[in-house]
Chains A and B, each alone.
Chain A
Amino acid sequence: MKIFIPLCLLFTFQTVTADDAATQAQIEALKAQIQVLQKNQAKEKSSSGLKVKDYKNEKMKSTSSESTEKISAEDQKKLEEALKKGKKYLEERNKYLEELENE
């Protein structure tokens, strides 16, 4: 029993830490996605207000990204809010884990 409880605690701690790492990785991936989308938007030069895509002398192989690559201001706001919530959640979990460790 004495061995079992610390083992359980260690396992829980490792699982929580792994969860945190995964959440952090997700946040980083989302950040990177936002950066790529913003960069793409900036690259697109407008011609009389219309979007222009430069294929740089490549053959056209797919246009499906045209429907999904765009990020609206509303979606960006939602993503930023989700990131904030994620960060706050991580901070609270870290604080709780610290408290547990100190106990």
Chain B
Amino acid sequence: MNKFLILLLTSMISTSLFASAFTDTYIVGSGSTYFMKSKEGADANVSIYTASKEGDSLSIEYFIESVNTFIPSKLWQQFTLEKSSAGPLKVTKGYIFKDGGDHPETMGPEHVKGKDGVKTTDFLFSTFEQINKHLKNKEKVSVPAGTIETSRYQITSNGQTIDFWIAENQSPLTLVKLISKGSIAAQNYELQLLTLVKNVAAKIDPSKAKPLSKEMTTLLEKSLK
């Protein structure tokens, strides 16, 4: 798995959202699958779905599958988001599971922090009210999942510009398409919605997680550089 993909997914965990009973919006097992095309040539299918929820705690699972490598690689990651008493969401736990592994591994706090640049879930786990200041246009777009009316938004931060298209009148917010451009290679990628998903069972069982192995630590360290 290339480092920029993990970087993106790590950065997709927003720590700056304010919402009361935000977990009500999310249905366990529901989410989306995207095709991700990168300038680095490591294309992948990326799925994001709700693994579980309890009170003000929400667990999101990612499934990343390379699609153009000779030996396909698969990776699952799960993050727990919790709403603190002050309001903002915090990523409290992170787990990772590599295809062929015996058990999930617990990620350290240093691996679940976001990175600089545009945090993708600043909109993915947001509301229309919170992102409306970035609205540019209303557009009808076609992606593999279908043709749909969307709103196009644009966010620029630290030399990275993200244009993203959100489906009209869908809750939670449904990202249909995203184009990221930036000065460094890892910031240049595109996402297109392949399909919405439902009734997906979580792959990672946190109760079976063991401490992070040396191999996985190296992989995560590389991804955060």
Closest to B31 in A: A60
Q: Which residues of B contact A70 (CB under 8 A)?
A: 144
Give the docked Cα–Cα distance between A56 and B63 (Å). Answer: 17
A39 interface contact, C-beta 8 A:
no
From A21-29, A43-51, A75-83, A84-92, give the one contacting chain B.
Answer: A43-51
What's the dominant secondary structure at chain B's contact region? Answer: strand
Q: Which residues of A contact B197 (CB under 8 A)?
A: 52-55, 60
B200 interface contact, C-beta 8 A:
yes
B148 interface contact, C-beta 8 A:
yes
Q: Which residues of B contact A64 (CB under 8 A)?
A: 45, 65, 67, 72
B210 interface contact, C-beta 8 A:
no
Q: Contact at A55–B65, with CB atoms within 8 Å? A: no
Give B21 Cβ to nearest chain A Cβ, in Å: 23
Give A74 Cβ to nearest chain B Cβ, in Å: 15
Q: Which interface class (under 10, 10 to 19, 20 to 34, 35 or more) fits B?
A: 20 to 34
Give the docked Cα–Cα distance between A59 and B63 (Å). Answer: 10
Closest to A46 in B: B146
Q: Which residues of A contact B60 (CB under 8 A)?
A: none
Closest to B148 in A: A49
Q: Which residues of B contact A46 (CB under 8 A)?
A: 146
From B152-160, B166-174, B178-186, give the one contacting chain A.
Answer: B166-174
A102 interface contact, C-beta 8 A:
no
Q: Which residues of A contact B148 (CB under 8 A)?
A: 48-50
Q: Contact at A62–B65, with CB atoms within 8 Å? A: yes
Kindly identify which residue among A56, A57, A58, A66 contacts B194, using a CB–CB cutoff of 8 Å. Answer: A66
Q: Mark B183-213, 1 if CB is under 8 A from A, else 0.
A: 0000000000111111111110000000000
Closest 3 CB pairs of A and B: A63-B45, A66-B194, A55-B200
> Taking beta carbons and an 8 Å cutoff, which residues of A are in contact with B?
44, 46-64, 66-67, 70
Since A49-B147, A55-B197, A55-B200 are in contact, a sample of 13 more A-B pairs with Cβ atoms closer than 8 Å, ordered by chain A residue number, is A50-B145, A50-B148, A51-B194, A51-B196, A52-B197, A54-B199, A56-B199, A57-B200, A63-B63, A64-B65, A64-B67, A66-B33, A67-B194
